[in-house]
Structure 1
Amino acid sequence: MKNPELLVPVGSREKFWAAIEAGADAVYLGLKNFNARERAANFSYAEIESVIDKAHKKNVKVYITLNTVIKNEELPKLLDTLYFLNEVMPDAVIIQDWGVFKLVSEFFPDLKLHASTQMANHNSLGVQFAANLGIGRVVLARELTLHELLNIRKKTTAELEIFIHGALCYSFSGMCHFSSFITGEGANRGKCTQPCRREYTQDKDKAFVFNLKDNKQLDKIHFFKQIGIDSLKIEGRLKSAEYVYKVAKAYKIAITEPERMAEAEILANEDFGREKTDYFFGKTLKVAIGQNSNVGKLIGSVSKVTRNGFTVSTDANIQKTWRLRIHNLKTDTQQSITVDNFKPSENATTIEASGKFSENDPVYVAGTNEYSFSSKLPYPKNPVEAMMPPAQKRKILSTLKPKAGSVTDGRQTLYLRIDSLDWLRKLYIHDADYLLLRFSFEEFTELLRDTSFLNKFGSKLYIELPYFIPEGALEKHEMLLKRFVNAGISKFMINHLSQKDLIPANAEFAASENVYAYNDAAISFLKSQGVSQFVYPVENDNNNLFGTSHTDGIVPVYFLPRLFISRMPVDFSKDNAFRDKENRMYIKHVKAGITYVVPEKIVSLTQFVPKMLSKGFTKLLIDFSFIKPSRTLFPAVIKRLEQATKIPESVDFNFNKELK
Structure 2
Amino acid sequence: MTTQNTSKRPELLAPAGSLEAFFAAVEAGADAVYAGLKAFSARAKAKNFSLRDIERMTGYLHAEGRRLYITLNTLVKEAELPELVDTLAALEEIGVDALILQDLAVWRLAKTHFPGLELHASTQMTIHNAAGVRMLERMGFTRAVLARELTLEQIRTIRRQTRLELEHFVHGALCFSFSGQCFFSSYLGGQSGNRGRCTQPCRRRYRHKGKEGYFFSPNDLSAIDLLPQLEQAGICSLKIEGRMKSAEYVHNVVRAYRMVLDTTGKRRQQALAEARELLRDSFGRTPTRGFLAGDNPADIASRHRHGATGRWLGEITAARPDAIAFTTRDPLQIGDRVRVQPASDQPGRAFTVRRLRIGRRQVQNVPAGSQVWLATPFAGFRKGDAVFKVSSRQAFSLSEAACRRRLEQVRAKAAPLKLHIRMPDNGSLAVRATVGPVELERTWQVESSVATENPLSPAILDRIFRATGNAPFALAGLSCSKLPPVVIPPSRLKAIRREFYAELEQAFGRQRQRLAQVHRRQAIDDLLPERDADRPDRGPVRITLVIGHSRDLHVLGQDHVDRVVLPLRESQVQDVLSGGRWARRKESLVWDLPFILFDRDRARIEELIERLLTHGFVNFRLHNLGHIELFADRPQARLFGSYRLFILNSEAARAWRELGLAEGMYAVEDDRDNLARLAGKKTGLACDLTVYARIPLLTSRIPLPTLQKQGSLTSDRGDRFSVQQQDGLTVLSSQTDFSLTGHLDELARLGCRNWTADLSHIGPFSPRGKEVLNALRRPRELPGTSAFNYEFGME
TM-score > 0.5, shorter chain as reference: yes
The answer to whether the aligner puts 1:276 opposite 2:407 as a matched pair is: no
Given candidates 312, 326, 337, the residue that maps to 1:323 is 337
Structure 1 stretch 301-310 or stretch 533-542: which is displaced more? 301-310
Shift of 1:122: 0.2
Alignment partner of 1:580 is 2:594? no
Rounded Cα–Cα distance in structure 1 between residues aligned with 2:409 and 2:575: 65
In structure 2, stretches of 5+ residues that fail to align are 1-6, 360-369, 413-508
- Report the residue type matching 2:642 in the other structure: S
The corresponding residue for 2:108 is 102
TM-superposed deviation, 1:19? 0.5
Residues 1:65 and 2:74 aligned together: no
Structure 1 position 452, deviation (Å): 0.8
Following superposition, the deviation at residue 328 of structure 1 comes to 1.6
Q: 1:312 maps to what in 2?
A: 326
**Which stretch has the larger CA shift, 49-58 or 547-556?**
547-556
1: CA distance, partners of 2:518 / 2:257: 48
Match of 2:198 among 192, 208, 211: 192
Q: Give the one of 507, 523, 526 matched to 1:396.
A: 523
**Residue 493 (1) aligns with residue 505 (2):** no
Q: What is the alpha-carbon distance in structure 2 between the residues aligned to residue 64 and residue 98 of structure 1?
A: 16
2:557 is aligned with 1:557:
no
Pairs within 5 Å for 1:56-455 = 56-258=62-264, 259=268, 260-282=271-293, 285-290=297-302, 291-314=305-328, 316-330=330-344, 332-345=346-359, 347-374=371-398, 375=400, 376-377=403-404, 378-379=407-408, 396-401=523-528, 410-424=539-553, 428=557, 430-439=559-568, 441-455=569-583
Question: Alpha carbons of 1:576 and 1:315: their partners in 2 closer, same or farther (altered >3 Å)?
Answer: closer
- Which shows bigger deviation, 588-597 or 234-243? 588-597
C-alpha distance in structure 2 between counterparts of 1:151 and 1:25, whole Å = 26
Give CA deviations for 1:118-158 in whole Å, capped at 9, x if unaligned.
Answer: 00000010011101111010000000111111111111111
State the Cα RMSD in Å: 2.6
SS at match of 1:553: strand
Rate the CA distance shift 1:126–1:34 in 2: closer, same or farther, 3 A.
same
Give yes or no for contact 1:448–1:487 (8 Å, CA) kept in 2. Answer: no
Aligned pair in 2 of structure 1 residues 633, 275: CA closer, same or farther (>3 Å)?
same
Could you tell me how far 1:89 is from its partner in structure 2? 1.2
Per-residue deviation, 1:249: 1.0
Instruction: Read off the aligned partner of 2:676 and give its amino acid letter.
Output: F
Distance 1:120 1:315 in 2: 40
Correspondence 1:519 to 2:519? no
Report how many aligned residue pairs link the two structures: 659
Q: Percent identity among equivalent residues?
A: 31
Q: 1:611 aligns with which of 723, 741, 746?
A: 746
CA distance in 1, matches of 2:661, 2:529: 14
**Paired letter, 1:285:** P
Instruction: Report what 1:648 is aligned to.
Output: 783
Amino acid at match of 2:781: K
How far 1:330 sits from its partner (Å)? Answer: 3.7
Task: Name the structure 2 match of 1:570.
Answer: 704
Distance change in 2, residues 1:403/1:179 (3 Å): closer
- Distance across 2 between alignment mates of 1:571 and 1:425: 37
Query: Could you say what secondary structure the match of 1:453 adopts?
Result: coil
Q: Distance in 2 between matches of 1:404 and 1:585?
A: 41
* Counterpart Cα distance in 2 of 1:16 and 1:538: 36
* CA distance, structure 1, for counterparts of residue 201 and residue 596 of structure 2: 22
CA distance in structure 1 between the partners assigned to 2:517 and 2:66 by the alignment: 34
Larger Rg: 2
Provide the C-alpha distance between the structure 2 equivalents of 1:488 and 1:404, rounded to a whole number of angstroms.
Answer: 37
Q: Which structure has the higher relative contact order (CA within 8 Å, separation 6+)?
A: 1
* Cα distance change of structure 1 residues 425 and 59 upon mapping to structure 2, 3 Å threshold: same
Residues 202 and 217 of structure 2 are in contact (CA less than 8 Å); yes or no, is this contact kept in structure 1? yes
Bigger mean CA deviation after superposition, 26-35 or 277-286: 277-286
Query: C-alpha distance in 1, partners of 2:771/2:669?
Result: 24
For 1:7, give the aligned amino acid.
Answer: L
**Aligned mates of 2:226, 2:17 — CA distance in 1:** 26
Q: Cα gap change, 1:429/1:280 in structure 2, threshold over 3 Å: closer, same or farther?
A: farther
User: Do the aligned partners of residues 635 and 44 (structure 1) sit closer, same or farther apart at CA in structure 2, a change above 3 Å counting?
Assistant: same
Q: Which moved more, 1:33-42 or 1:377-386?
A: 377-386
Shift of residue 479 of structure 1?
2.2
Q: Residues 433, 388 of structure 1: CA spacing in aligned structure 2 closer, same or farther, 3 A cutoff?
A: farther
Displacement after TM superposition at 1:631 (Å):
4.8
- Paired residue secondary structure (2:663): coil
Structure 1 residue 409 displacement after superposition: 5.1
Distance apart, 1:186 and its partner CA: 0.6
SS, match of residue 598 in structure 1:
strand
* Structure 1 residue matching 2:713: 3-state secondary structure: strand
| Aligned equivalents of 1:209, 1:607: Cα separation in 2 | 34
Shift of 1:642: 3.2
Deviations 1:101-130 (A, max 9, x none): 001111111101100000000001001110
Report if the CA contact (8 A) 1:46-1:380 is conserved.
no
1:330–1:371 Cα change, 3 Å: closer
CA change 1:395–1:230 in 2 (3 A) is closer
What secondary structure is seen at the aligned counterpart in 2 of 1:287? coil
Find the aligned partners of 2:592 and 2:531 in 1 and give their Cα distance.
29
Contact between 1:24 and 1:252, CA under 8 Å: does it hold in 2?
yes
Q: Does 2:734 correspond to 1:599?
A: yes
Q: What per-residue deviation string (whole Å, max 9, x for no partner) do you get for residues 229-269 of structure 1? A: 11000111111111111111111112111422221122122
- Which deviations, in whole Å up to 9, do the C-alpha atoms of 1:367-408 show, x marking residues without a partner? 113132422223378999999999976753452438999996
Contact 1:2 1:225 in 2 (8 A): no
Residues 519-558 of structure 1: matches in 2 within 5 Å? 519-548=649-678, 549-550=680-681, 552-558=686-692
How many Å separate the matches in 1 of 2:254 and 2:730?
Answer: 33
Decide whether the 8 Å contact of 2:544 with 2:755 is kept in 1.
yes
CA distance in 2, matches of 1:263, 1:69: 40
Q: 1: distance between equivalents of 2:702 and 2:520?
A: 44
Structure 1, 412-421 or 159-168: larger mean CA deviation: 412-421
Whole-angstrom CA distance in 1 between matches of 2:384 and 2:162: 54
Q: 1:339 offset after TM fit, Å?
A: 1.4
Contact 1:250–1:263 (Cα < 8 Å) also in 2: yes
Letter of the structure 1 residue corresponding to residue 687 of structure 2: G
In the alignment, is the contact (CA less than 8 A) between 2:142 and 2:164 conserved in 1? yes
Instruction: Give 1:588 shift.
Output: 1.1
Taking the aligned partners of 1:174 and 1:109, their CA distance within structure 2 comes to 26
Partner Cα distance (2:61, 2:681) in 1:
42
Question: Quick one: distance in 2 between partners of 1:196 and 1:370?
Answer: 31
Whether contact under 8 Å (2:691, 2:740) holds in the other structure is yes
Distance 2:529 2:334 in 1: 61
Change (3 A) 1:212 1:83: same
Q: Is the 8 A contact 1:83 1:387 kept in 2?
A: no
